[in-house]
Structure 1
Amino acid sequence: MHTFDPFAALVAVGWPPAQPWPALAAAQRVARVAAQHRAGYVLHDGRESFKAQPAPGFLRRSLTPEQRPVVGDFVILADGRPPHIIEILPRRSLLSRAAAGERYARQPIAANVDTVCVLMGLDGDFNPARIQRYLALIEGSGAQALILLSKADVHPGHAAQLAALRAALPADASALAINAKDATLGDQLASWLQPGATLALVGSSGAGKSTLTNTLLGHAAQATAAVRAHDSRGRHTTTHRALLPLPGGACLIDTPGMRELKLTGDEDLAQYADIEALAGQCRFSDCAHGNEPGCAVRDALDSGELNPARWRSYLKLSSEREQQEAALEAQLRRHADPRPSRVLGRRQRER
């Protein structure tokens, strides 16, 4: 008779094998948040999925969304009918964005993710500027980025697009052109699909997220639909974030298509470190990079060293980040939040 090993079972839903096991009291256990609904949570312990409710402490209105359990979290449960989530275990990463609307609010997307896969079609969905925006959100999450350009099978002339994109990516980001229906896709992504690894899949509706998910699972678990002919956009066939164990031991978090990607204000924009280094070489410290003499940025643009499209992307994202920084700091002051702010920490370093 085989004894159920909760530690080994959780590896199948993304528990890192080298991570220490938490101390548990009687009638407590660990599981992972697989989905979140209005009526509660769906958890997975590596053997089965089941429903659970948050403990009353998680229902306080004063809590921010990231202080509540999100998809991908490992949590401690107190047994009961139903079980109750009583504690969120420390996260190794948290992917977030600013929620839509005028009021500042941070919206967690997924926790404990190792790789965020940005899926973008090589059709009308292809937009390098949107990839830069995804990278800005990913870089501060604790996860690495993987850009997947889908529909390579119907766009055989994609090599130039892929080469240009790779040249613009930071050194720690990878990009591949794929066919989301290819049965060998798991082999192509083997480096990122190791046992215990978690991948989050993000991208626009119609990019092929559900198709890719079904291919990696080996069966049609997610609904798919055709894209519109005039703009290659699709409908939201994925309606909520869901964690899915894959046959090889990794996990995939599928997410609904994102129509709006707002920065949180906490981004470092490290992918533009070269531009910020250029700005530091300008003759004047307050250079606006217009017609000032000795402007290293203008010189780089004139010589072709700096791509104008990349410069425009940097200006847009840095301006948005400044606005979101101000909104974030105002929120922290309103709530007298004692937690250290990465924004404040970065400003202190700059001084």
Structure 2
Amino acid sequence: MHGSDPFAALVAVGWPPAQSWPVLDAEQRVARVAAQHRAGYVLHDGMESFKAQPAPAFLRRGLAPEQRPVVGDFVIVIVVAGKPPQIVEILPRRSLLSRAAAGERYARQPIAANVDSVCVLMGLDGDFNPARVQRYLALIEGSGAQAVILLSKADVHPDHVAQAAALAAALPVGVAVLAINAKDAALHAQLAPWLLPGATLALVGSSGAGKSTLTNTLLGHTAQATAAVRAHDSRGRHTTTFRALLPLPGGACLIDTPGMRELKLTGSEDLVQYADIEALARQCRFSDCAHGNEPGCAVRAALDSGELSAARWHSYLKLSAEREQQEAALEAQLRRHANPRPARVLGRRQREPR
């Protein structure tokens, strides 16, 4: 951690040039979280990476995961000779990509912070699943980042142009869909609009979709391990085992993430990619229409005429039901925190502390 202009150095790891510089004490520095491990964090100040530990405040039991530093965060760290650097503050985030953690208990799992674009990588093989893209869009829409859909392995699928066009037609206007070859050097030109200096791009998708290959191509050297996919389902093993922020040669940053087996909604999604269906529902004769056999059902009429596809309708029903379930779980959790259970009264056999 050195140099005469730390602000200029941080631009190399995604610090927005227009963002104001925080007031710091003599022993404080600003750095970005590049990786998180059980033993602590790896930070980058634009010139070098170094290990750091979180302050005790971040280790409190019951602290929500989004209140702890995550990959992509800009943090204030105290650097004192003879002591390990310590993260003491998270600077305001401009975006936060999260999902609901696996398991029955409701919890949000942050994926990456301060991301400008989220690239959803999906293979044009057995990994191709338009319904999964809709689920990713639901998670991205409330994060503050822009979604970009990348269809990999276009070099071995001659119908990739038609598949990309069909997928784009089913997504909201403005969501870019690109068919790519993750090994092709032309990838830099295809992604140029999202790889501007100071921009941060997060890469998400299933194992085997080609995230590590794409990362190596953008870096210009092999930094991430790659592996072959299984023949029967085109899925791969987890070659990326943790989230990592990687500065790219052109001045942008890439956050690579492990393959996601489960994508659970958080309950706060608006499902804007289904705005057309919700607009249809508002045209039904009855406000409480169940979209079954009720007279004057605009949704049923659109299904019958082919204006609305059955696959898209079922995808909407599945996601909206999950959103309502997760929303109820979140509300129940907030009520428990607002009205905690009273402390247990000491029994006769329990002794008061001296």
Same fold (TM over 0.5): yes
CA distance in 1, matches of 2:20, 2:131: 40
| In structure 2, distance between residues paired with 1:248 and 1:83 | 29
Identify the residue that residue 66 of structure 2 maps to in structure 1.
Answer: 66
Matched, 1:33 2:27: no
**Deviations 1:316-342 (CA, angstroms, capped at 9, x unpaired):** 0000000000001111111129xxxxx
1:222-250 deviation line (CA, Å, top 9, x unaligned): 00000001100000000000000000000
Q: For 1:143, give the aligned amino acid.
A: A
Partner of 2:252: 250
Letter of the aligned partner of 2:58 in structure 1?
F
Q: Structure 2: how far apart are the matches of 1:298 and 1:187?
A: 44
Q: CA deviation at 1:159?
A: 1.6
Counterpart selection for 2:295 from 274, 293, 296: 293
Q: Is 1:51 aligned with 2:37?
A: no
Alpha-carbon distance in 2 for matches of 1:4, 1:218: 29
Residue of structure 1 in register with 2:210 after alignment: 208
Q: Distance in 1 between matches of 2:34 and 2:299?
A: 47
- Runs of 4+ in structure 1 deviating by more than 2 angstroms, as ranges, are none
| Deviation, structure 1 residue 3 | 5.0
Distance 1:49 1:312 in 2: 47
How far off its partner does 1:187 sit?
A: 1.2
| TM-superposed deviation, 1:62 | 2.2
- The match for 1:132 among 117, 125, 134 is 134
1:263-310 Cα offsets, whole Å, 9 max, x none, are 000100011111101000100000000000000000111111111111
Highest CA radius of gyration, 1 or 2?
2
- Aligned partner of 1:163 among 158, 162, 165: 165
Which residue does the alignment assign to 1:105? 107
SS in 1 for 2:151: strand
* SS of corresponding position for 1:153: helix
Contact 1:114 1:144 (C-alpha < 8 Å) held by counterparts: yes
**Structure 2 equivalent of residue 14 of structure 1:** 14
| Structure 2 CA distance for aligned equivalents of residues 197 and 106 of structure 1 | 25
- Counterpart CA distance in 1 for 2:337 and 2:73 is 25
Contact 1:96 1:141 in 2 (8 A): yes
160 and 254 in structure 1: CA distance in 2 versus 1, 3 angstrom threshold = same
Q: TM (normalized to structure 2)?
A: 0.94
Whole-Å Cα distance in 1 between the matches of residues 337 and 234 of structure 2? 43
d(CA) in 2 for partners of 1:210, 1:118: 13
Unaligned runs of 5+ in 2: 340-354
Equivalent residues of 1:146, 1:175 under 8 A apart:
yes
**TM-score, length-scaled by structure 1:** 0.94
Is the Cα contact below 8 Å between 1:144 and 1:172 reproduced in 2?
no
RMSD: 1.0
Provide the C-alpha distance between the structure 2 equivalents of 1:307 and 1:231, rounded to a whole number of angstroms: 26
Counterpart residue number, 1:336:
338
Structure 1: runs of 5 or more not aligned: 338-351
Which amino acid in the other structure matches residue 77 of structure 1? V
Distance 2:26 2:243 in 1: 31
Matches within 5 A, 1:186-201: 186-201=188-203
